[in-house]
Structure 1
């Protein structure tokens, strides 16, 4: 896909260490994360702080069994969303991937979203 689309940059590096590849990537509009790691929300938050523009968007595929196989998937998803929120990642939508993938969810949202301005009405 990266050969056909010049705005897609594949990074073959450990996502847990964005400082190792920060010289290869400029600020981006979107981060897509599909990493099967117990700390995947932290990985997305860290990479967002390095590369994602304020007002940019993210998409993360959460694999509940990779995080904690002893807890119900819905609780794992909820805990991961809270971690994302702590890193200024504001979830907009969450979808489970059932029946295609068991105990998987996809969360999309924005990063450091600008505050909405209140409408001014004339008197």
Structure 2
């Protein structure tokens, strides 16, 4: 079993990415549970979680520890957020989701996991939930909208700590289905640089996701 650098409680076990289960015996999305060395681990499925896909594809350069605060934009039903919850055991995961249907599923996950906070909000309007969210060590964005990078930047401007990290899963086909994904990724990275952020790392998500790019940023000094 190999520890993933920078991410407390995240390991590579038998070619699978796993997190130490915050709620032993409880599954979130039917994931496999593994007992090892007196602890229970949840398999983090890269075909169900873009963050898992990015980590397995070699994304490195950011830190998550038990006390980290994370703002998650586009939390959906809580699959990835639940694994982040495993990592930030004494911290918080603020889960912004716009769909009432997804929010109902997310709330059920949050009932079991006390460090997850569900917010039925529009991620493009961060001022609407500004009083409900602490400054974040990580702003994570998985929102399939044409202006996904713009709303990511607005949320980082509102909530990201000076030494924090931003991680966006850019979905090229949600921005423009007619253009080359490679050109779109380059343009979105340029928008981040123009807004005062430097690129720490970026990786594609194949074979788990098509036409996606994970881009990790931090404020330029």
**TM-score grouping bracket, smaller chain normalisation:** 0.7 to 0.9
Paired position in structure 2 for 1:10: 95
1:55 Cα deviation from its structure 2 partner: 2.2
- Alignment counterpart, residue 92 of structure 1, candidates 200, 203, 206: 200
Paired position in structure 1 for 2:171: 63
- Alignment counterpart, residue 154 of structure 2, candidates 25, 34, 46: 46
Moved over 3 A (4+): 2-6
TM-score by length of 2: 0.48
Paired position in structure 1 for 2:47: none
Q: Distance in 2 between matches of 1:93 and 1:37?
A: 22
TM-score by length of 1: 0.85
Q: Which ranges in structure 1 are unaligned for 5 or more consecutive residues?
A: 115-123
- Alignment counterpart, residue 77 of structure 1, candidates 185, 189, 192: 185
Deviates further, 61-70 or 8-17: 8-17
Q: Distance in 2 between matches of 1:54 and 1:27?
A: 9
Counterparts in 2 of 1:23 and 1:101: CA distance versus 1, 3 Å: same
1:10 Cα deviation from its structure 2 partner: 1.5
1:3 Cα deviation from its structure 2 partner: 6.9
Q: Which ranges in structure 2 are unaligned for 5 or more consecutive residues?
A: 1-81, 97-119
Q: Distance in 1 between matches of 2:198 and 2:149?
A: 12
**Is the contact between residue 45 and residue 89 of structure 1 (CA under 8 Å) also seen in structure 2?**
no
Secondary structure, counterpart of 2:92 in structure 1: coil
Q: Distance in 2 between matches of 1:110 and 1:33?
A: 14
**Is the contact between residue 33 and residue 59 of structure 1 (CA under 8 Å) also seen in structure 2?**
yes
**Is the contact between residue 85 and residue 92 of structure 2 (CA under 8 Å) also seen in structure 1?**
no
Name the count of aligned residue pairs: 113
Paired position in structure 2 for 1:28: 136
- Alignment counterpart, residue 217 of structure 2, candidates 91, 101, 109: 109
**Is the contact between residue 136 and residue 164 of structure 2 (CA under 8 Å) also seen in structure 1?**
yes
* Aligned-residue RMSD, C-alpha: 1.6
Larger RCO (CA under 8 A, 6+ residues apart): 1
